[in-house]
Amino acid sequence: MYLGVLSVAFGWAVLFRSQEILLYGLVVALLFHLAVLVIEEPSLRRLFGAEYEEYCRTVGRWIPTRPLPELPRKS
């Protein structure tokens, strides 16, 4: 959802060639990032613990990626 909002804001900045809209998009991006770091991630860590930590290790924060396959463990 955050990336969708930012895509629209930056798209408008390009479409209208507007530095003001670009600045707005940058400020909104910064506020989104701070909200994720200060509010969302700590709440998810408290709620899900180690499971959320593992999720964070395998998935990017802002750019979605496919999790890497697990390598077979040596016995």
Domain definitions of the chain by residue range: 2-58
Give me the pLDDT at residue 72, please: 75
**In this predicted structure, what is the pLDDT of residue 5?**
97
Count of other CB atoms within 10 angstroms of residue 25: 20
Condensed to tens digits (0 to 9), the pLDDT of residues 23-65 reads 999 999 999 999 999 999 999 999 999 999 998 888 888 887 7
Task: Give the model's pLDDT for residue 25.
Answer: 98
What are 69's two structure tokens? 């396959």
User: pTM for the complete prediction?
Assistant: 0.78
pLDDT at 75: 65
